[in-house]
Amino acid sequence: MTDIIPQARGFLATSQPEKALEILTPHITSNTTSPEFLAILGETLLESNELEQAYNILIQACELDPDASLGVEKFLYLGQIIGGADGLNYINTGLNKLNEILASINQGQMNGEELQKGGYKDTNEYKQWVDKKLNSGIFASVEIWMTDLCMEPEAESKCNELIEFSLSIDPTNPETYSILSSIRISQQRQQDAIDALNKSWELFKLHKTKLEDFANKKETNETGADDAFEVGMEYVELIQPLVTLSRYAIELEQYEVAIDIASNIQDINDSILDAFYIEALANLFKAKQISTASFNGSNNDGKDDYRELEISQLNDTPEIKQLLANTRSTLTSAYKIINSELDSENDPVLADQVNELLNQLGGPIMSELMPKRENLDDEDVNWEEEIVSDDEA
């Protein structure tokens, strides 16, 4: 039994919840009173999109371990599922326990037996895990205050308090500044939101570069396989927070930043539909912004929303033509993703938005589609066969 939970966690770490569930299911009946087992089972069900089952299991796990002595994750997950004031109570239980652990680490009270039990090679690695979980709980709390409890009088002060706490834990965490930008957007503090956005992107770029440097060392056999796998996972995990940050950049009218972020997402994975849509939107809005700025009369006072302009209303200048050409080219790349074997992974609403915008621009650029269709030579065929082979492995 002691091996089952680490095995399941390993499958979750590699995005294989179905395999985790496969090894956990035979042991459910004999572990109905084990909070550790129920916690990993609940997390697995959550990753499998079985929300109701996950909720029931996690509730049971939390009742068996009310002070989170046997793990904090179940409280953080359950709090996010429930939301509202009740959700915050669960998250706070986890945060309180994590703060206790952090205090013990800072006071040098962590012994080798405790580290070994948790599978940590040293105190520093354990502290990194605690910091990560603290931030996870903080970010979830901020989300609740900004959505479910946004009308509460203390919502703004709570968000400020939480984000300051996060910055005190790790002032170099790019996701903290991303969330700070979101908070400032909601507070209509435009320049502060832009400053936080830029700081977040600066830190994300540094982190991405470090991971890429590690990958280069891996190619020269300077690193271990386990470390390389962890860094690879961390690299891929950059995608979602970067997508979120790029959307903030669009909202803040920082179009060059949005394009830069989208391009870097494509570096990590060139099949992320959001990245191409955001890049296209940034180019299009930039064209509309420039066109509006050149108008004479009251439309140039900055009060009208230039983003509502129709494409047919834009000025016919070389700069705007180039921006529209860039938009159409980027959307053509998105069109290829939508019409590939990866389409089932895409948000259908986003796919519709891509197609609608592309139609307004005259449809996909056929010259960017046809060559690959016509040149299905050995290189293309082998690439497809390699993908199939990987899936079957």
**pLDDT at res. 224:** 56
Which segment of 54-63, 163-172, 229-238, 329-338 scores lowest on mean pLDDT? 229-238
Residue 363 vs residue 369, higher pLDDT: 363
**pLDDT at res. 373:** 46
pLDDT tens-digit readout, 366-392: 988 875 544 445 444 443 344 343 444
As a whole number of angstroms, the distance between CA 26 and CA 6 comes to 16
**Whether the predicted pLDDT of 114 surpasses 90:** no
**Whether the predicted pLDDT of 113 surpasses 80:** no
As a whole number of angstroms, the distance between CA 285 and CA 366 comes to 24
**pLDDT at res. 385:** 44
pLDDT tens-digit readout, 230-274: 888 889 999 999 999 999 999 999 999 999 999 999 999 999 999
**Whether the predicted pLDDT of 291 surpasses 60:** yes
Can you say whether the dihedral through the CA atoms of 335, 336, 339, 344 is positive or negative?
negative
As a whole number of angstroms, the distance between CA 133 and CA 185 comes to 25
- Taking phi first (over 0 means left), then psi (-120 to 50 degrees means alpha), and beta for anything else, what does residue 390 get? alpha
Letter string b/e over residues 291-318, b meaning 16 or more CB atoms within 10 A of that residue's CB: bbeeeeeeeeeeeeebeebebeebeeee
**Whether the predicted pLDDT of 115 surpasses 90:** no
pLDDT tens-digit readout, 313-342: 999 899 999 999 999 999 999 999 999 887
Average of per-residue pLDDT across 214-224? 65
Distances (CA, A) of 135 to 95, 162, 230, 314, 335: 9, 9, 19, 44, 36
Looking at the chain, the whole-number percentage of residues with pLDDT higher than 90 is: 71
**Local structure of residue 368 (DSSP, 8 states):** H
Average pLDDT, the chain: 88
Neighbours of 233 (CB within 10 A): 12
Average of per-residue pLDDT across 116-124? 79
Average of per-residue pLDDT across 162-183? 96
**Terminal C-alpha separation, the chain:** 28
